[in-house]
Structure 1
């Protein structure tokens, strides 16, 4: 169901019925609650100098099989034991326009001013002018600066090309701490959007010192029409109820799973609609324009600290152009779409598309977490 490999250290979070959120790990297909006074949150576990040694030293409590808990996590109703997003107090950040293919689509969105019906003609013109010339460019290089000069001379320069091949990456806040949803949950579209899509991404997991400790999967739900109208609407396009999905589990770095492994990950995407429509896609980290370590360094440094750490969406090369509702209309979500993002090393992240106003309201924030942990004697 979740498709996690047998090897590796996986950490996650579960809502325990009648109890509240718990930090968990996997042992032989069983879910063990390892929440403790020493590390009551995922943030605290990931701050350990030796994460694997810390987890191995806790007996924990067996709270059920992964398959049973995952099955109960699909759009649950009421107080049931279910999977949560594996991050808790960490900031939820994202980088955009990190792949050439998606960079071109951002230019198209901007030129179309959010109007999907204009996208096909603009796509042909931009592709004819740019082609594959951006694929091997190193952002911020002298060669990239020359391409920028040529594109400006042709009247094709864009703010998206600036962050795609310029020296500075786009870094934005995707969601507030505790707001991300996990495996099985609804993901939300703002009701004003009529042109939108999923974005399958690798999510880096970083502690308070800037150490990259692991990775997971994410769906950076994207409102193409809202951002296309104006880049100043990025916050409205990106940060909505249930618009950030992360999970299913964090895989902690070890000898068999490293940053180099992440650099070669192949993500697959499947969208299955209630209307019988199916969309498939992929995103290859080998084609990213900016190295994940560079994205982390541009997010955190002397210029900006994250005392509770952060998770960082790394962007996607996937940009759907397959027509769904009519010729030249491209792809957009329908309510009820089931989105599956998968990688053999990280498992499967599955969510169902709803409106943000139809997804469960976000009511359990950082203050609620602190009160809950205090009542359980964990603070």
Structure 2
């Protein structure tokens, strides 16, 4: 377990979920102990909604020591108790093309129409013609409007650039409630996808009022060939069985970990393939084009409410393009890839890649959770 936790976990308050013999259980990791929080709040969503801003959860029932848990992925026999995604009833939202690198890669996908070799040619052309201009432009500004005019004249404008530097962020629903998987679980890519990649992201966790209460890590698994054929295929490219992982825990904001710490986080991506392939990369949240609170504000407001709260993927910072095998074919996943997404103060999210058909099917939905909590006497009147 220590390998998954933040480097300063002894000073952190970590909220998550584990699978016990009774069912999914919210837990708090604090001061070296694991606290069962189910008697205080039956779900993570309820716990966060019941907390006054700036306050910490009350003490739960101590059920063990953090040091006593030995983490193993499901492909290694799993761990007991099993670690689940740290969110439950929250809506799973995501913001797209919030980093220059992802904006450019989306334009490449759109123009290549799923052709990896053509994508490599377009990437070189766009890098030469746009350069770093887009990285310094504040979305919605007069400068952004002028750049848009120039790119239109040059035949380089795209719907992806509209949300990258225009006034409105792309906000979409990534996955259904309760469908996300946690650290140690298999993640799925469709068997009919030939061009796909992980999308390492920081995920901000908000309560029903839209207040940012903590942060975690996520993998917004992406099928580049399917979305590249048409932006209208976004749902098919993004929302599939086991296609969204979150974890390992939510780090609650306090005076030792604040939004400013999140804004400066450096996230690393490591991929190890069964074929011996290895990829390492990193990027900084400081490169984001829109502030996390701006993205939160564009998600919730008078036009949209979330009574159980929501989590928001803040956008991918790293799109792997290294060739894997044939020159010019770029990167795509292979079955058995181990993906590690990490940042020192949020921990490490690790998953194995399989096809969506091979991943454990999603069978435990909202009605199953409500029946389980009712049987356990955890639903308040």
TM-score when normalising by structure 2? 0.95
Partner residue, 2:241: 241
Whether 1:7 aligns to 2:11 is: yes
3-state DSSP class of the match of 2:308?
coil
Q: Is the 8 A contact 2:199 2:219 kept in 1?
A: yes
Q: Which residue of 2 aligns with 1:253?
A: 253
| Structure 2 equivalent of residue 342 of structure 1 | 342
Coordinate RMSD, CA, aligned:
1.6
Name the structure 1 match of 2:71.
70
Residue of structure 1 equivalent to 2:48: 46
Match of 1:34 in 2: 37
| 1:23 corresponds to 2:26 | yes
Structure 2 portions without partners, runs of 5+: none
Distance 1:337 1:193 in 2: 15
Matched residue, 1:318: 318
Aligned to 2:125: 125
Alpha carbons 1:341, 1:349 under 8 Å: kept: yes
TM (norm. structure 1) is 0.95
Task: Work out the CA distance in 1 between the residues paired with 2:331 and 2:306.
Answer: 36
SS of residue paired to 1:251: strand
Superposed displacement of residue 61, structure 1: 3.3
Contact 1:241 1:359 in 2 (8 A): yes
When residues 66 and 21 of structure 1 are mapped into structure 2, their CA distance, relative to the original with a 3 A threshold, is farther
Deviation per residue, 1:6-38 (Å, 9 max, x gap): 21110000011x2100000113444221111x4
Deviation at 1:119, TM superposition (A): 1.0
What is the CA distance between 1:39 and its match in structure 2?
1.2
Per-residue deviation at 1:344? 0.5
Deviations 1:62-92 (A, max 9, x none): 1454662532x53477995200000000000
* 1:295-341: CA deviation from partner (whole Å, max 9, x where unpaired): 00001110100000000000022111100021000100000000000
Q: Is the 8 A contact 1:9 1:52 kept in 2?
A: no
Q: How has the CA–CA distance of structure 1 residues 52 and 259 changed in structure 2, closer, same or farther, with 3 Å as cutoff?
A: closer
Spell out, residue by residue over 1:188-218, the C-alpha distance to the aligned partner (whole angstroms, 9 max, x if none): 1012211000111000000000100010000
Aligned CA distance change for structure 1 residues 315 and 143 (closer, same or farther; 3 Å):
same
Structure 2 counterpart of 1:222: 222
Structure 1: segments with no counterpart, 5+ residues = none
CA contact (8 A) 1:42 1:88 kept: yes
Change in 2 beyond 3 A, CA 1:319/1:59? closer
For structure 1, which segment, 83-92 or 27-36, has the greater mean C-alpha deviation from structure 2 after superposition? Answer: 27-36
How many pairs does the alignment contain? Answer: 375
Task: Give CA deviations for 1:205-264 in whole Å, capped at 9, x if unaligned.
Answer: 000001000100000101110100000000000011110000000000001111111110
Asked if the contact 1:76–1:185 (Cα under 8 Å) also holds between the matched residues in 2, the reply is no
What is the alpha-carbon distance in structure 1 between the residues aligned to residue 121 and residue 161 of structure 2? 19
1:292-307 equivalences under 5 Å are: 292-307=292-307
Do 2:35 and 2:59's aligned partners in 1 also have CA atoms closer than 8 Å?
A: no
Please give the secondary structure, in 1, of the residue aligned with 2:204: strand
Instruction: Using the TM superposition, give the Cα deviation of residue 50 of structure 1 relative to its aligned residue in structure 2, in angstroms.
Output: 3.5
User: What CA distance in whole angstroms lies between the structure 2 residues aligned with 1:175 and 1:30?
Assistant: 32
Structure 1 CA distance for aligned equivalents of residues 317 and 27 of structure 2: 32
Determine if the alignment matches structure 1 residue 333 to structure 2 residue 333: yes
Q: Secondary structure at the match of 1:47?
A: helix
